[in-house]
Structure 1
Amino acid sequence: MKRMHMHLSVQNLERSIAFYSHLFGSEPTVRKDDYAKWMLDDPRVNFAISVHEGAKTGIEHVGLQVETEAELSEVYGRIHDAGQPFLEEGKTTCCYAKSEKGWVADPDGVLWEAFLTTGEATVYGDRTQAVKAIEACFDATTPQEEGGPTKADRAPQTPCCG
């Protein structure tokens, strides 16, 4: 069964944890100095927040979390069928979890993650490496879709993948 995922960048983690704990009626299932995550069943969402120096607040990315390799393969197939460039990151550590994942940006540049979590990790992971990999997938002239905006046309913080 798949689960919707949303990750927000926040300015004040404690204030945000208090707000979302009230909103969801539960405490985070994972809580670190720079990160918190709620694994909600109603609605079925993996909702995460984090603080990163210099990061813009708001939606960092959205995604689909799967529970099996077969589901991940199915989602990857749908992404490929959608015709958007796709970055298969493979096995990685992110958000205090070991995962296998891939990235795609929708036609408007909203970053989507498709991932299978395989275990816990004691570190957040190298966020800058992932962001650089995603942004490097397009050069300044590569359109994201036929007739779509190029990396040069986008705001500097808008991620691309390919």
Structure 2
Amino acid sequence: MSRIQLALNVDDLDSAVQFYSTLFQADPAKRKPGYANFAITDPPLKLVLIENPGHGGTLNHLGVEVESSPQVHAEIARLSQAGLFTEEQIATTCCFATQDKVWVTAPDAEPWEVYTVLSDSETFGTAPILATGEAVPDDEAIAVCCGAAENATAPGAPCCG
């Protein structure tokens, strides 16, 4: 089963979790410091809440969660063949999960990801290693976690689901 993902920035994670738990009659599927996600059955939705004080009520990014890596790779091929620029992240650790994903950007600059979760992680993300052998600085690593740095909403702000 595929489902749409909606990632929102929230000012206060606790109050947002309480509200969305009531609205969707569901508890979070995953809760970590500054992060929560809901796997809503009806309607099929992956709701991601990212604590980002001062940016609450804004869109962080959108996505489509699919069941497997072959589906992600099929989307990479399909989107590339259609002429869209894709940014691929294979076996990346992001949002407390190891994922395969591909990013595309809509005409009005909304970032979309098609992804599958390979496993859970105890860390928000992993900083990639630059060609120089150095790790990306922590404040930039979070932006890299969710595609291009322009997906970040504020310096050091988490950005993905």
Q: CA deviation at 1:106?
A: 0.8
User: Within 5 A, what are the aligned runs for 1:100-115?
Assistant: 100-115=100-115
Of 55-64 and 123-132, more deviation after overlay is shown by: 123-132
Any unmatched runs of 5+ in structure 2? 127-138, 156-161
Shift of 1:41: 1.4
Aligned to 1:89: 89
Q: Which amino acid aligns with 2:19?
A: F
Deviations 1:4-41 (A, max 9, x none): 11111111101111111111011111111211110111
- Return the letter of the residue paired with 2:14: E
Runs of 5+ in structure 1 lacking a partner?
137-155, 158-162
Q: TM-score, normalised by structure 1?
A: 0.75
The Cα RMSD (Å) is 2.4
Larger C-alpha radius of gyration, 1 or 2? 1
Between the two proteins, what is the percent identity of the paired residues? Answer: 28
Structure 2 match to 1:143 = none
Tell me the residue number matched to 2:148: 134
Shift of the 52–134 alpha-carbon distance from structure 1 to 2, 3 Å rule, reads same
Distance (Å, rounded) in 1 between the aligned partners of 2:90 and 2:142: 11
Tell me by how many angstroms 1:75 deviates. Answer: 1.9
CA distance in 2, matches of 1:21, 1:53: 20
Structure 1 residue runs of 4+, over 6 Å off? none
The DSSP-based 3-state class of the residue aligned with 1:112 is: strand
Conservation of the 8 A alpha-carbon contact between 2:125 and 2:142: no
Inter-partner Cα distance in structure 2 for 1:56 and 1:40: 21
How do residues 25-44 of structure 1 correspond to structure 2 at under 5 angstroms? 25-44=25-44
Matched AA of 1:23: L
Partner of residue 98, structure 1: 98
Native 8 Å contact 1:8 1:61 kept in 2:
yes
Q: TM-score, normalised by structure 2?
A: 0.75
Deviates more, 1:68-77 or 1:16-25: 68-77
Give 1:52 shift. Answer: 3.6
